[in-house]
A and B are shown apart, each in its own frame.
Chain A
C-alpha cells in the first residue's frame, strides 16, 4: 500500500464510522480497529519500514496526518457522546423542587432572657456588673439588713413566702426582691460598687398582673460622691436606651421604701400602642420603678460607714419591662410554657443584644 488514494478512501470510511458510532463502546471498537495495536492505521504504519525512502517521504506524513485527524475525531465524538449520556442521566434525575424541604424545629429564647441581656448591655455601658445570689434567703439578707425591722408593718408590703422552719428557728424566705444580692455584694466587696442584680423573686400573689414568681432587676451604686441627681440621670438614660427613644419625660415622686432614703418612684410619660407602650408621648404617667438613695442603716448593716459612702439603688420588674416593650398583655403565660406563645414572643438564639448591632 503505497498510494494516498487508498489512504483517502480509508480516512473517508473511518470518519464515517466514527461519526456514526452510537455509543462509547462502538466508538472504542472503531478506535481499536483503526488505531489499536493491530488496527488498520497502525498496521499500515508498520509497513513504512519496508518502503523506499521516496515512498516513505510521501506516506509517512500522510499516515501521521491520518492518525492525528482520526484521534481528534474520536476524541470529539467521545466528548459528544459523553455529554449526551450525562444529559440523559441528569434528565432522569430530575426531581420536583417544589417538594418541601425538611422541617427544622425552630428554637427560641424566652423574652425574659432577652430583656435581661438587654439590661446587662445597657448597664454595662454605664459601668455596672451583673451580680447574683440565692433565691432561698434568710431573714437578715432579705429584710433586716435592708432596714425592715422585725415585726415592722413595712414587711406587710411584701407577700412573703416562708419555708417551714424547725420550732424556734427563724424561717428562711423566698427572696421578695433581689435586694439581698445588694447586701451580699456590699458585705463581700469594697466600694466603688456598681452592680445590677437580676433574678427570680417571689411574692404570694396570683392574678393577671401578679404571679407568685417573677423577675426583678435591681441596681446599686456605692461610692463617695454619687447623689440623687445621678440616680435621676442614670434611670432616664436607661429608659431611653431600653425603649430606644430620645424622648423620655420622667417624673420622680417621693415614696417610701425601708432600704432607701430619700425614696422615689419613677413615672414616665407614655401612650398605649396596643398592649405595648410608646414612651415619651401621650398624656399619661406610668409608674415604672422604685428607687432612692441607699438608707444609711443599710450601708451600716453591711459594715460600711454611711458618712463616708453613699449611693443609690433602684429596682424594677423584668417581666413588666418585657410586656411594655414587646406588647404582652398578660403576665401568666410567661411561666406556662406554651410553644405557640414561646414562638410568638420568643427571640432568635442568634440575636445577641449589644451596643454595636442593637438590642433586638
Chain B
C-alpha cells in the first residue's frame, strides 16, 4: 500500500518528521517497505532568477544569461528559446547529475562557442519532474533564490510504501492509517466529515440484491449532466504518485476513494445500463462479458455478478465490464457502492485470476458502514469536478451488522504480555482505535467498530493494546530451564541420524541436502513416486513428484561434479523419502553414492566395488544402532540396482534395513550418468528400537587368558553357494568355542573345474577354562568340516 506524506496529512494533524512517522509506523506494525523521496534526487537543484539574457555573440540559438543563484551571480549559456530576463528558473550547479539526461555536468566551467558557462538552467523533463516542451522551467510564483527545486516544483511529497497484513483491511485507506497513527500518538485525526447530498430527483435505476449472502447491501445513485474528462492536476498527481494511471475524472474519483477510505466504488455510464441493476449469481455462458482489462470472463454460479436485464455488467467487487464503463463521452452516470462477501470475492478473484484493487479490499473485508459515506463522498467529488445533478440515493438490502461486543478482562493484558497497565490506559488505547469499552463491570464489554471485523475475542484487544503501548515496553524475562534433571531431549531417530551421518562423513562422504521432489521419470527409475505424491503446482516440470529415493539427486550430482572435473565426488544425504502421502509414508534414510573410479596413486590404486558400498552401509547402520552382527546379506535388491552386484542387508527374512551395490547401468544411462556408481540407501526408522534399560551397567566382561587357537580350512563349494551360508554354518559348528570365522581367500580356476570355488577360512577357537588338547581341537575341526558339508561344501584336500 502506497500513500504520500501530504495525503496522510489531509487526515492527520502532526508536526512529526517523515523519519518519526516512519518509525512510529514500524513500531505500530505498519511495516515500511520503502520510502521514496523525490526531493532527494532533486537536492542539487535550486531556484534562480535570470536577470539578463542576451544573444550569444557566436551562435544564433544560444543565449548568455546572467543568473542570481544560491552560489552567487553566474554566467550561464542556455539554448532554450524561452530563456529571458526576469524569469524564475531552476539552476543546476557545476558537477550536478542531471537525472533526465543521465549525465553529470563538468565540475569546471566549460566554454560553449567561446563563452564560459557556470552551470545549467534545466527543464522539468531534465529533472524527471515534468514534461516541459517550451524549454527551461519557467516557474510561476514568487520563489526566492535558493528555494529547493523540489519544493518549487511541488515534488517534495515522499511516497511511503508499507506492507498491509491480511488482518487489517482498514490500512488499505489513508484514513485508516491516520487513525492508527493518531492512536499511537503521532498526531490528531482530522478527516473532514462527509456531508450527505440531497438528491434532486428519484434514482431512475432500481437496485436489487438477489443474492444477499454475496452482496447484502447495494447502494447507488445517478448523476445527470456530468462533464467527464481528464482529472485536475492535483488528482492526477496524487494517483500517479502511488503508481496509478489516471483515466478520467469519474474513474479517478473511485480510485481516489478506494485508497483514501479503503472503499471501492464502481461507476457506470447510465446510457449503457438498463433500468434495473441487480447483484446475483453468475449464469455461466449467458453472462460471458468483456471486463475492463479487455479480457473475457464467464462467471460461474458461485461468483457474484452485477447485471441488468440485458447482460452481465461485471463481477461484483472484482471488476466491471468494458461495455458499461464511463468514458469521456459519458454525460449521465450511475455510482455503485456495495459490500461484497470476502470469501466469495476471494474465490471469484482466484478463479478468474483477477487481482484488482477492489477485489483486494473486499476479500480482506471492507468496512460495511462506508457504503453510504463512500457514495456521498464520491458524489461530492464528482459534482466538484464534473458538475451535474444527483439523484436520490437508492439502497437495496441492509448494511451488515457490527461484530459482536467482546467480553474483556483487562487483567488478561498483563497475564499474556507481562505488561502492567492501568485500566484507564487500556481503555484509552481502545477508545483511540475506535473501540468502546463499557467498564461498568468486569469483564468489560467492548464494542467493536465496523472497520475492525478482524477483532472477535480478547486476544485481539490484547494485541492492540500491546501494539499501541509499544513492544519495547514489554518486560524481557529469560526463559530458564525447568528445575530438576534435564532428560536429553533428542529422540532415538534423531540420534540415529546424527550418528549415521557422522559415520558416513568419516568414511569420506560429503553431506548434501537435495530436493525432496524430483521428476516423474526419475522417480519411475526408482520404483515410481508414491500414491498421492504428484504435485499439482510444481515449481518446475523437472520437480513434479516427491522422491521415492534419496539416491536420485545424489547420483545426478555425481555426474555434474564429474562434468566440472571432480571425478571422485562422494556424496551422501540423510533425509526423507516418500512412499505415500500419509505421515507414516515418509521415511528417514541415509543414502550415499560415489562413482567407480580407480584412485590414482604412486603406490597403485584400486577401484571401489560393491563390497565398499556394503562396508559403508554396514558402518552407517552400525553407528545408527542396528545389530550388524545379525544382519544378513542377500541378493534381493530392487530393480534399480545391478542384478548381480547388489544386495540387501536384512534382519531375518523380511526386515530390510539397507540396499547396497552398483546402481543398474540402465538407470544410470537414463539419468545421464556415465560410468558406474556404487551406493547404498539405509532406512533408519526401520532399525528396531533398542530396549531401554534403567541402569546403563554393561554385562560382566568375559575374557580368557588362554591363547586362542587358529585353524585354517579350505572348502570346495559350488559357485552359487552364498559364502555367508558357509561362514554361518562354520560359525555355528561349535557355538561355545568358535569366536570368529573369517574368509581370507576365495579362488576359482580351471584346476577346480567349472562352477566350483575354493573358500579358505580362518577359524578362531577360544578355550574358556583350560587349554584344549590336540584331540579336543581335532573334534572342533571335525565339527567345522561336518557343518560345512551340511551347507554344501567339502574340505579341499
Contacts and interface: CB of A to CB of B under 8 A. Distances in A.
B512 A337 contact: yes
B471 A253 contact: yes
B420 to A, nearest CB: 11
A45 B464 CA distance: 121
Given A109-B505, A161-B537, A337-B512, A153 B364 contact: yes
A127 B467 contact: no
A136 B585 contact: yes
A153 B346 contact: yes
A125 B480 CA distance: 8
Given A102-B601, A171-B536, A310-B415, A349 B505 contact: yes
Contacts of A327: none
Given A265-B31, A337-B557, A229 B166 contact: no
B268 interface: no
Interface residues of A, number: 91
Interface stretch (B125-133, B227-235, B315-323, B489-497): B489-497
Interface string B522-536: 000000000011111
Given A107-B505, A213-B516, A262-B463, A342 B31 contact: no
A302 B414 CA distance: 24
A206 B542 CA distance: 14
Contact of A255 (B29, B481, B489, B510): B29
B417 A229 contact: yes
Contacts of B477: 227, 229-230, 232-233
Q: DSSP majority for the A interface?
A: mixed
Contact of A261 (B419, B462, B494, B535): B462
Interface string A185-206: 0000000101000001010111
A171 B532 CA distance: 9
B511 interface: yes
- The interface centre, meaning the residue of B471, B515, B554, B586 with most chain A CB atoms within 10 A of its CB, is B471
A234 B578 CA distance: 35
Interface in A245-283: 251-256, 258, 261-265
B570 A107 contact: yes
Contact of B166 (A120, A132, A153, A194): A153
Contacts of A236: 476
A349 B557 contact: no
Nearest to B471: A252
B701 interface: no
A116 to B, nearest CB: 10
A341 to B, nearest CB: 9
Given A124-B489, A126-B479, A134 B363 contact: no
B454 to A, nearest CB: 9
B339 interface: no
A338 B561 contact: yes
Given A163-B533, A253-B31, A335 B561 contact: no
A105 to B, nearest CB: 3
B501 interface: yes
B511 A346 contact: yes
B475 interface: yes
A127 B491 CA distance: 14
A350 B87 CA distance: 79
B157 interface: no
A343 interface: yes
B509 A107 contact: yes
A202 B509 CA distance: 27
B318 to A, nearest CB: 14
Contacts of B481: 125-127
Contacts of A100: 602
Contacts of B459: 261-262, 293, 295-296, 306
A334 B418 CA distance: 40
A112 to B, nearest CB: 6
- The interface centre, meaning the residue of B480, B508, B511, B576 with most chain A CB atoms within 10 A of its CB, is B511
Interface string A88-100: 0000000000011
A36 interface: no
A165 interface: yes
B571 A339 contact: yes
B482 A192 contact: yes
Contacts of B576: 135, 200
B601 A120 contact: no
Contacts of B479: 126-127, 221, 226, 230, 233-234, 237
A60 interface: no
Contact of B566 (A206, A264, A339): A339
Contacts of B244: none
B583 A129 contact: no
Contacts of B59: none
A24 to B, nearest CB: 32
Contacts of A336: 557, 560
A228 B507 contact: no
A112 B477 CA distance: 29
A77 B586 CA distance: 78
A112 B557 CA distance: 18
Contacts of A133: 583
A40 interface: no
Contact of A253 (B29, B166, B490, B506): B29
A328 interface: no
A258 B168 CA distance: 12
Contacts of A165: 532, 536
Contact of A110 (B467, B486, B513, B583): B513
Interface in A109-127: 109-110, 112-113, 117, 120, 124-127
B505 A172 contact: no
Contacts of A37: none
Given A162-B536, A163-B581, A237-B478, A342 B510 contact: yes
A228 B566 CA distance: 52
A161 B509 CA distance: 32
Contacts of B458: 296
Nearest to A149: B343
A106 interface: yes
B561 A130 contact: no
B514 interface: yes
Nearest to A205: B539
B510 A339 contact: yes
B511 A342 contact: yes
A154 interface: yes
A162 B537 contact: yes
B553 interface: yes
A338 B482 CA distance: 43
B167 interface: yes
Nearest to A294: B459
Contacts of B535: 161-164, 174
B539 A172 contact: no
B599 interface: yes
A350 B568 CA distance: 22
A25 interface: no
A94 B346 CA distance: 84
Nearest to A127: B481
Contacts of A6: none
A149 B498 CA distance: 38
A230 B477 CA distance: 5
Interface in A204-218: 204-206, 212-213
Nearest to A255: B29
A113 B511 contact: yes
Contacts of A128: 489
Contacts of B342: 153
24 contacts: A106-B508, A124-B489, A126-B479, A127-B482, A128-B489, A132-B493, A134-B583, A156-B166, A161-B536, A162-B536, A172-B581, A204-B539, A205-B539, A228-B416, A230-B418, A230-B479, A232-B471, A237-B478, A253-B31, A295-B459, A310-B415, A339-B510, A339-B566, A342-B511
**What 7 pairs between A and B have smallest CB-CB spacing?**
A254-B29, A229-B418, A256-B165, A105-B508, A337-B512, A129-B489, A107-B505
Given A161-B538, A256-B167, 9 more contacts: A102-B601, A117-B498, A127-B482, A133-B583, A135-B578, A252-B471, A253-B31, A337-B512, A343-B510
